[in-house]
Chains A and B, each alone.
Chain A
């Protein structure tokens, strides 16, 4: 078997004239927890629908567990677990009825596993789906995605709308139930701080393209910000510049893949001691998706409202 659970090459997709995916490239290692990040509207759900074979790409290809979903969508869906964004389930069914119903689609459905999971996830067998809390609802959706022993589980913004305690609890199940057994987890979210503790690797999707893919620690350590007490310098030769903000007498530079060589270049640029900062993940995310790459702008527009309305879900 391949070392990649998901391979995406130059994937394009358009709704009419509206180009959603513009050449996505991404590889998800088998057994990893992979965080797929992007703002709302970046194309996360569209990418996922393509992986499931629900949408046909206009160009490029993807393979899921070695299978092309565009060619054999049913084979893909029988092998993976999928939890949709804000998953809707029949409210009038009882928990055990919906389990039986979903299980009937899968020849390899494991009733014994499900019985254990029901207890572990503290779900009421006789409760009606519509009476479940948000947390129970997402746990039930997770359970339904696991009954057929998938080797890959795709979770589309699974913690959307959960309170912080339910969210942490959910992530615990992802680590305990899936990582332990070597299941690959592909997890989309717009919250970096949520992804960081659980993800081995992350990819950031922006305007239909992957702007960064790295191990979580690497991402953290390679993006640095420098504060320089002057603003009249030329930074054109600097590679990996994510953001440059100039003031009348100072400037801040955010760079990726920062190493000693780049640090020396920046010190030389400043001609004096500089102040270096590490960034938290939200700031790193911000630098990649709305960074101002050298275009002149006097006012810093990163004003804490980066996520706009998405913050309401947080």
Chain B
């Protein structure tokens, strides 16, 4: 059986709860394509051991990501990266993105980065992640 290591970093001085830090990083890696569709996730115990984090925290992360249809459980065989699009309602998806963009807007205003430039930067980031996603799909 293939054992792999997920690269997750826990920031202990962050104001973000640990389960959200882990969930966000898994989402990010799926978006980037470093975690691929149908890929098997480490078991709750393995990931808890790797990160030195309470098993219930990992369980909570997996449950939440399953609810969001980002991961799926195959009875008996384990937890996998789900196939297909997530089915979170569009309003909720917008809400999540708006919150993060709000933080980015505050930073941009403080640092004196013009709105046009912010648009360009966002475009560039979006495209580069999409391209990486494409590349890792072609590698399969």
Contact = CB atoms under 8 A, between A and B. Distances in A.
A152 interface: no
Interface in B39-53: 45, 48-49, 51-53
Contacts of B32: none
Contacts of A33: 54
Contact of B54 (A197, A220, A221, A281): A197
Interface stretch (A65-73, A78-86, A172-180): A172-180
Contacts of B15: 277-280, 283
Nearest to B51: A197
Interface stretch (B6-14, B75-83, B90-98): B6-14
Nearest to A277: B15
Interface of B: 10, 12-19, 45, 48-49, 51-57, 60
A200 interface: yes
Contact of A200 (B18, B51, B56): B56
27 contacts: A168-B52, A169-B52, A171-B52, A172-B52, A175-B49, A175-B52, A175-B54, A176-B45, A179-B55, A180-B55, A193-B13, A197-B12, A197-B51, A197-B52, A197-B53, A198-B52, A198-B54, A199-B54, A216-B54, A217-B60, A220-B17, A277-B15, A278-B15, A280-B12, A280-B14, A280-B15, A282-B13
Interface string A147-161: 000000000000000
A23 to B, nearest CB: 29
A198 B51 CA distance: 10
Given A179-B48, A198-B53, 14 more contacts: A169-B52, A175-B49, A175-B53, A175-B55, A179-B54, A197-B10, A197-B51, A197-B53, A198-B54, A200-B54, A217-B19, A279-B15, A281-B12, A283-B15
A175 B48 contact: yes
B57 A197 contact: yes
B102 to A, nearest CB: 12
A175 B19 CA distance: 16
Contacts of B57: 197
A65 B18 CA distance: 30
Nearest to B54: A198
A97 interface: no
A214 B15 CA distance: 17
A286 interface: no
Contacts of A220: 17
Nearest to B14: A280
Contact of B13 (A168, A200, A221, A280): A280
A169 B50 CA distance: 10
B16 A278 contact: yes
A283 B12 CA distance: 12
Nearest 6 Cβ contacts at the A-B interface: A278-B15, A193-B12, A220-B17, A197-B53, A171-B52, A172-B52
Contacts of A196: 12, 18
B120 to A, nearest CB: 28
